[in-house]
Amino acid sequence: MRRIALLSTVALLAACGGSSSPTPQGFLRVGNLSPDLGPLDFCVRTTGTTTWSDPVMLTAGAAAGLVYDGGTGINGALQVSRYFEYAAGTYDVAVFQKGLLGSTCANPIASKTGIVLDSGAHKLVAAVGYAGSTTAPHALASFTDETTVTTGNVAIRFANTGILPGATFGPVPPIDVGVTTASTGYVVIFRNVAYPGVAPASTVAPVIDANGYAVVNAASFAGAVQLTVCPTGLTPASGFCQSTNVAAGLITANSVATAYVIGVAGTPAPAANSLLCGDNTAPPTAGYNYSLCLTKLP
């Protein structure tokens, strides 16, 4: 399995090849973050029109589609597509389950309209939720990605897209996310990350920007670090938090990444499984149609 250290190795635009086009371009990728959906494909159309594109993954040569929890792709990358390039504009996206009879872009599992792709913008549209849930039904959630960070730093964010097991399959409640080290103990970085979304912007250090990212010095990840997730307002002393070890050197300077909380092992622990994805990287091999992601288990 490739290491997330690869997150900082290749600039995204080198893979997309959009710089020679006279038309302003935006970039769109789609992910399967719903634990009960089988392999997905997706279609795109300009908002206000009625004709969907052909299934994007199939057309690109990725017949397996987008598989929850990583499938067998490089670094579990079958869960999130690479960025696909579109002329700047406003688009609709629909997803359909490849193995479900009657499911097509004309009869999708979920769709979202009015996704704005400005010139140079990068968006992730993710399938979230659970069938039959009254509080977290299947839906598409849109996230604005960032691709640059000041030299020597890391831009990272957490997105709450997790589903609780049980009779109702509701969403993971709002969470706080911090780091725990031997020298500092538990320090909160992201507060009140509500489903399905990212931490609200904050001007209190560490600053959280409008897209949910915190910029931290890469040295913060030089040694062994624990990412600690707690129900909002609680601390590890409560016994309701859960930590995931991040190996030294796994996240390196100039990386931009998102960790998607995608599942839980049980209550009361709020998060047992996160998918860490690079937001500023090219696919790891030429022609590969998935983003560079690593499924992290506790």
pLDDT band at 72 (very low <50, low <70, confident <90, very high): low
> In the numeric block, which tokens belong to residue 6?
């690869």
pLDDT of residue 295: 67
pLDDT for residue 274 is more than 70: yes
Give the pLDDT band of residue 220 (cuts 50, 70, 90). Answer: confident
Tens of pLDDT along 167-187?
889 999 999 998 887 778 888
**What is the structure's pLDDT at 248?**
77
Residue with tokens 């890391």: 154
Percent over 90 (pLDDT), the chain: 58
**pLDDT bracket for residue 266 (50, 70, 90):** very low
CA distance 284 to 298: 25
pLDDT higher at 238 or 74: 238
Q: Give the model's confidence band at 130: pLDDT under 50 very low, under 70 low, under 90 confident, else very high.
A: very high
Whether pTM exceeds 0.85: yes
Q: Is the pLDDT of residue 158 over 60?
A: yes
Instruction: Give the residue extent of every domain in the chain.
Output: 4-296
Instruction: Give the model's pLDDT for residue 273.
Output: 73
Answer with the residue of higher pLDDT: 56 or 180.
Answer: 56
Residue 77's SS3 state is helix
pLDDT band (50, 70, 90) for residue 94: very high
